[in-house]
Structure 1
């Protein structure tokens, strides 16, 4: 089965997570391609989808939302998993406890009939250069810490679970 691990990234974290997932799926014997969703010309060429985007203001990036909207007829007939990349692990205190509320907010921005099997929120990297000066000040005021918060074990486990569902029975 051909699997698309499609992504939309702002600073590269989502791309590296997508490539890692594609590697796990490939090692499980699946034919996989990781690529930006905006570069996919024929969604119908894939038998399954793992789609992810960076999250800005509780929403997927525009190219990801557009891909889902434009290919809903194909996605509705195939297995789909979605993931979002934000910064919950970079936050502290009450802000960190609010992170689980981000998934439903992101999903409200996607078509309600997407029919995905699972949605995961992963943390990415947060660098000073990714935020405006006022954004950096606010980020620090709410207890945010800059750094790389990608949890590769969590990414690998989730991708291995997807591979288990997609692999043909022996």
Structure 2
């Protein structure tokens, strides 16, 4: 079993989550690699996919969208998990409890192109998680900083690493495993 942990990252937070997921899969004996989706040429060489993207305006970044659309036929026949990373769950420096662990604003995860929990999207997704990300002043436009200030928003790293680790461990449990790598390579 060879798993692609593909990502589309804007400022690095999504890349770091993907690398953490791949590292945990490796530790659990699942062969995996984290790579930018824009650099993946042959998706057919992977047996399963964990795909994640930063979210802008409740949508995945373009490179994530392109990867899913370009590889829909391959993804349709293999296990697929999705994760989205954004700030919709962050309000004033705390998680927005309206969305819960799986939701974003208004309780809905951002839409991933060509994917659905039913047959409409062509790709059956085993799970789609929405993780809070990192919000720093340099990542926002002047208007974005003003809106954040007006809404009493705080800056910081809001990623919940235990939540991410638990999710990745669940993926690892559902996949066939190979031999376990030497100790000390988990993170």
Shared fold, TM over 0.5? yes
Where does residue 110 of structure 1 map in the other structure? 113
Within 5 A, what are the aligned runs for 1:51-130?
51-92=51-92, 96-97=96-97, 99=99, 100-102=103-105, 104=108, 106-107=110-111, 109-111=112-114, 112-130=121-139
Count, aligned residues: 167
TM-score of the superposition, structure 2-length normalised? 0.83
Where does residue 41 of structure 1 map in the other structure? 41
TM-score of the superposition, structure 1-length normalised? 0.91
Runs of at least 5 residues in structure 2 that lack an aligned partner in the other structure? 115-120, 179-187
> Are residues 1:30 and 2:34 paired?
no
Query: Structure 2 vs 1, CA of residues 47 and 155 (structure 1 numbering), >3 Å: closer, same or farther?
Result: same
> Are residues 1:143 and 2:147 paired?
no
- Quote the offset at 1:140 in angstroms: 2.3
Q: CA RMSD in A?
A: 2.0
- Distance in 2, matches of 1:135 and 1:143, equals 12
Where does residue 18 of structure 2 map in the other structure? 18
- String of CA shifts for 1:38-83, please: whole Å, max 9, x gaps: 0001000000000000000000000000000000000000000000
Contact conserved, 1:89 with 1:149, CA < 8 A, in 2? no
